Amino acid sequence: MSHRPPEKSQSKIQLRPSGGIRGMTGESASNTRQAIRRLFAYLRPYWLQLLGVTLLVVVSTTAGLAGPILVGVSIDRYIVPGDVPGLLRLVLVMLAVYVVGGITMILQGVAMVGIGQRLMADIRAELFSHIQTLSMGYHDQHRAGDLMSRVSNDTEAINTVLSNGLIQFTSNILLFGGILVAMLLLNWPLALGMLIILPIMLVITSQFTRRTRLAFRNVQRYLGGMNAVMEENITGLRVVQAFAQEEDAISTFRAVNSAYREAGTRAEVITAALGPMFTTMSTITIAAAALLGGWLALQGLVTVGVIATFVVYIRNFFRPMRSIAMLYNQLQSALAGAERIFEVLDARPAVLDPPDALTPVIRGEVVFEHVSFAYEPGKPVLEDVSLSASPGQTIALVGPTGAGKTTIVNLLSRFYDVDEGRITIDGHDIRTLQQASLRKQLGIVLQDTFLFSATVMENIRYGRRDASDKEVYAAARLANADHFIRLLPQGYATKVSEQGHNFSEGQRQLLAIARAILADPRILILDEATSSVDTRTEIQIQQALLHLLEGRTAFVIAHRLSTIRKADMVLVIDDHRIIERGTHEELLAQGGFYHDLYMGQFRRVSGEDTRIHKQLDS
């Protein structure tokens, strides 16, 4: 089995040419047919609405083609002969045609904006929900920012095409073809004269739109709130999965996703009402048409009304031509974004529950039986590791950085599955247990404390969502956090800034301990923080840890001598194996690797640690 550890993935970060949040993917779809086919599968639930929009497009395009013909007819049949009553009747018909065309354009624009926004909300929700289910191995290999970009920017690239581009592309193709056919039918010599200029204008338009297409994408102002939730939940996914809060994260995202959809709908409706402006190129062609048409009129080959119709058609001719060129670039960007989205949706979790997964109440007996594991093939992190912990025992894991301590607790949390051997809890292979059931009975306190942008109360309650306020207060008191919380401006209702930067390191640790106490786990996984805090806070943290460890099976990645001394068993890990095991005193007496580690690392802080230890005992 192949995985990639976090430290490896961080060393191989590759920056995208376009920087961070992108307005366009800047890529072309490598499998256009498949991407289009899968996108159309998402459109199937809206086929009735799309059929209605198609009919509206046909009506509006027909009205756009009929208007110039009516102008020419009015000149030749009524204005030149001086038939005022007939002219008035035709004006009413023309007015009706343009009103119908305008109304149908507004209706089709509003309809497609609604369809596009609902479709994008569906895709974003499915994508975000799927990301929550992916195993840690996947997230080790994919940057959170890239996943955020797929959920927000890539879906927005698709939405730009669906909401406005699909209508414009269809209507522009119909209008472009209709104008060519109408001009050829009205007067083919004049039409051919205009078509001579067409290749030149196509080249100019293509070059112009290629250089300026990026200017047609406005900066996404409505992604901030949604991106904040995504970044927070993806960055803190280990905490989310550890406390089995995937459903709550999905629910939170659905709320901000809905708000973004409404804001996007308003923005797209306004954008759809702003039609593209004609360029000066149409004026040049109109002048050419006037010259050629005037000469043909002097020869008796064309009427004034037909020339007037051509002038209107030429004004409309360059609008679809320019729009099609611009929409082609947008379409390629949208298809590339769709492929990136489907790459995530096609990814399957490496850690899966069996169909008959067990949900037992855990007592806390943990056994590793000849466990081996590698994040990458040929690079073992653990080899033939065996250990056992009885209910209520505290196991301290010590060893140099990179020895495999974190991997042991990751495997116990079933963030990954072992390559060889097995891990059992109360005699059950953890691969037979339901992940959510297992993690709800595990308590995890990570070295890098992660706090969500919510109130202090909500952050502690993350350990158990159905806990009452009294239970939250009790957990905070046991964690020695109640006193400083009540001194905050709004107490438990104080908002936590992004990742808890408005709290000290020690305060964040105490809040994380309170959260774990509230979860009341049967098995505790503790990665002690290495950062220094003041002596008073250190004593408070140590007292809180004593309450947290009491009566629970605990695996502690230990950095404090006081924790190691209190452990029932110390496992010394080096070179992918457990090389020594025993109590603190036993290992010192052996004079082996732990003795050298103690003399070189722990003894430097033993004086201060011993003083703190004595204060705890007193």
Looking at the structure, tell me whether residues 389 and 433 fall in a common domain. Answer: yes
**25 — pLDDT class (breaks 50, 70, 90):** very low
Looking at the structure, tell me whether residues 298 and 319 fall in a common domain. Answer: yes
Is the residue at 302 inside a domain?
yes
The count of domains in the chain is 3
The residue to which tokens 């086929």 are assigned? 47
Is the residue at 198 inside a domain?
yes
Q: What is the mean pLDDT of residues 268-291?
A: 61
State yes or no: pLDDT of 142 exceeds 80: no
Domain C-terminal end among 520, 540, 573: 520
Other beta carbons within 10 angstroms of residue 601's beta carbon come to 14
Is the residue at 542 inside a domain?
no
Other beta carbons within 10 angstroms of residue 599's beta carbon come to 12
Looking at the structure, tell me whether residues 93 and 226 fall in a common domain. Answer: yes
User: Could you report how far apart the first and last alpha carbons of the chain are, in Å?
Assistant: 50
The answer for residues whose C-beta is within 8 angstroms of residue 178's C-beta and 6 or more apart is 61, 62, 64, 65
Looking at the structure, tell me whether residues 432 and 413 fall in a common domain. Answer: yes
Looking at the structure, tell me whether residues 269 and 381 fall in a common domain. Answer: no
User: Tens of pLDDT along 360-415?
Assistant: 999 989 999 999 999 888 888 999 999 999 998 999 999 888 888 889 989 998 98
State yes or no: pLDDT of 537 exceeds 80: no
The enclosing domain of 50 has a CATH number of 1.20.1560.10
Looking at the structure, tell me whether residues 57 and 83 fall in a common domain. Answer: yes
Looking at the structure, tell me whether residues 341 and 380 fall in a common domain. Answer: no
240 vs 259, more confident: 240
C-alpha to C-alpha distance for 554 and 409, rounded to whole angstroms:
10
Collapse the DSSP code of 347 into the 3-class scheme (helix H, G, I; strand E, B; otherwise coil) and give the result: coil
Average pLDDT of the chain is 78
Looking at the structure, tell me whether residues 181 and 103 fall in a common domain. Answer: yes
**303 — pLDDT class (breaks 50, 70, 90):** confident
Looking at the structure, tell me whether residues 246 and 323 fall in a common domain. Answer: yes
Max mean pLDDT range (5-14, 98-107, 110-119, 593-602): 98-107
Percent residues over pLDDT 70 in the chain: 79
What is the value of pTM for the model shown? 0.66
- pLDDT value for 499: 66
What is the phi/psi pair of residue 205, to 5°? -65, -40
Helices and strands (H and E) in the chain: how many:
25, 10
Is the residue at 617 inside a domain?
yes
- pLDDT value for 10: 35
152 vs 265, more confident: 152
Residue among 529, 599, 597 nearest 558 (CA): 529
Looking at the structure, tell me whether residues 581 and 478 fall in a common domain. Answer: no
What is the phi/psi pair of residue 389, to 5°? -135, 125
Domain that holds residue 175: 24-345
State yes or no: pLDDT of 78 exceeds 60: yes
Do 479 and 281 contact (CB within 8 A), yes or no? no
* Residues written for the chain: 618
C-alpha to C-alpha distance for 567 and 555, rounded to whole angstroms:
9
User: Tens of pLDDT along 409-447?
Assistant: 899 989 899 999 999 999 999 999 999 899 888 888 877
Looking at the structure, tell me whether residues 393 and 301 fall in a common domain. Answer: no
The enclosing domain of 502 has a CATH number of 3.40.50.300
Looking at the structure, tell me whether residues 286 and 170 fall in a common domain. Answer: yes
User: Tens of pLDDT along 171-201?
Assistant: 778 888 888 888 888 888 777 777 776 676 6
Q: What is the mean pLDDT of residues 143-152?
A: 74
